[in-house]
Structure 1
Amino acid sequence: MRTPRALAATALLALTGLAGPAVAADDDLACGPDDVVVVVDAEMLGGDVEARCVPVPQDGTMLSAVEDAGFVVEGTAEFGSSVVCRVDGFPSESRETCRSMPAADAYWGAWIGADDAWGFAQEAVDSQPVAGGDVVALAFQEGPDERQPALSPAEATEQAQPVDEAGRPQSPSDGLPWGAIALGVGAVVVLGAVLAVVLRRRPS
């Protein structure tokens, strides 16, 4: 029969194996250096500032990266997808019809991060190229003064969340922590087994 010490050592190895997949699962929920980080800043419209990351889209454009990140982008009737009119329902249809070019002081600005600073995209969103490691943003601009995205490129990269196939953001807190649950159950089983062995060996 194994001694309590040997049983505990075997159990420790088993528990270490259980902990491994939990760590790997969290690693899967991190953005990679070859991903594109996408920021959508609807703060001026009462919305949120969100940062997500996606693999480089197949067509390599900023618009596809934004859509792959799960954001719903609407263009205009006159200019199509070259001009961003609405993102995730912002602004409302009562405020913006999206028939033609949005107002000069109320529009979605397209930005590209470079050296932890923002600069306006040089092409329309449906033709602006993106590559792995790029940080891009759509930020609603209202008023005469230029307004950059609320997050800097570095902050966006740090806070970005990957998305699933449906474009929903993922995080380590999503779902039940099965690795931790299994570890706890295993520890209880091991302690019970060790205690049973010790009790058997005690003189009656």
Structure 2
Amino acid sequence: MIASRLARLVTASAVLLGACLAGAAPASATGTDGACPEGGGVTVVVDFGDLGPAPVVRCAPGTPANGIAALQEAGIEVAGSQKYGLAVACRINGKPGPDVESCAGMPSATAYWSYWHASAGGSWTSSQEGAQTAKPAPGSFEGWAFARPKSANDLPSPPRIAPVRQASAPASAPADQGGSSFPWDVVVGALVIVVIGVAGTLVARRRRAQ
């Protein structure tokens, strides 16, 4: 009977510890703010132009299959047209709205998303193929800029955010890191003490009963 109680107590303690660990699990790695670190992922820059929102810079981890996948894996919403699907990026993060573009077919020649590529620290180059077929190079930058040329013959402007990685913030001192982390050693130690204490109490009661 004591062994049964002890087993239930150990199981409950394990469940409690597992719940604590699950609650502290890191967020999904998909889509992080800012440029990707050197040697990992594809940085996506979205310049909304005169549509209003501030430009967005996010990191798509790994090696996205194409330009559309880079947008999605960076955590940026993209919607295609009703006729061509995601072969045409019509809206990015809900922009432009239906008052500017219906997204029924091809976007207007004077209001559309232009698509760009760049190496880190390089210059933006207009893409020569669609985002569904373009393969982003590892560590590169993907750019989107909303264009409103005066005529269909005018060339669009690249994103206003340069394809440059920001300097990494200095690491915190060891003391600061220790103060900000959760004291798992204390939690585990306390659970072990509780299990041992209760087990000892049950054994003592059984001896007195005998």
- Length-normalised TM-score, structure 1: 0.60
1:138 alignment partner in structure 2: 144
Q: Kindly indicate whether residue 157 of structure 2 is the aligned counterpart of residue 147 of structure 1.
A: yes
What amino acid maps onto 1:31 in structure 2?
P
Q: Kindly indicate whether residue 166 of structure 2 is the aligned counterpart of residue 158 of structure 1.
A: yes
Give SS of 2:130's match: coil
What amino acid maps onto 1:105 in structure 2?
T
Q: What do residues 75-110 of structure 1 show as CA deviations (whole Å, max 9, x unaligned)?
A: 111221111100111001222110011111110001
Distance 1:123 1:179 in 2: 49
What's the CA shift for 1:122? 1.7
Calculate the aligned-residue CA RMSD, in Å.
Answer: 2.9
Q: Where do 1:50-129 residues align within 5 Å?
A: 50-57=56-63, 60-114=65-119, 116-129=122-135
Distance 2:69 2:59 in 1: 12
Please point out which of 42, 51, 55 is paired with 1:45: 51
2:4 alignment partner in structure 1: none
Paired-residue identity, %: 30
Give SS of 2:72's match: helix
What amino acid maps onto 2:97 in structure 1?
S
Structure 2, unaligned runs of 5 or more: 1-25, 182-210
What's the CA shift for 1:113? 0.8
Distance 1:108 1:180 in 2: 46
Bigger radius of gyration among the two = 2
What amino acid maps onto 2:85 in structure 1?
G
Please point out which of 33, 37, 40 is paired with 2:39: 33
Which of 1 and 2 has higher RCO (CA within 8 Å, sep 6+)?
Answer: 1
Taking structure 1 as reference, are residues 99 and 33 closer, same or farther at Cα in structure 2, changes over 3 Å only? same
What's the CA shift for 1:179? 4.0
Aligned residues: 139
Distance 1:158 1:36 in 2: 14
What amino acid maps onto 2:114 in structure 1?
G
CA contact under 8 A between 2:42 and 2:137: conserved in structure 1? yes
CA contact under 8 A between 2:116 and 2:144: conserved in structure 1? yes
The list of structure 1 runs, each at least 4 consecutive aligned residues, that deviate by more than 3 angstroms after superposition, is: 177-182
What amino acid maps onto 2:103 in structure 1?
C
Distance 1:43 1:159 in 2: 26
CA contact under 8 A between 1:109 and 1:138: conserved in structure 2? yes
Structure 1, unaligned runs of 5 or more: 1-24, 161-171, 183-204
What amino acid maps onto 2:93 in structure 1?
D
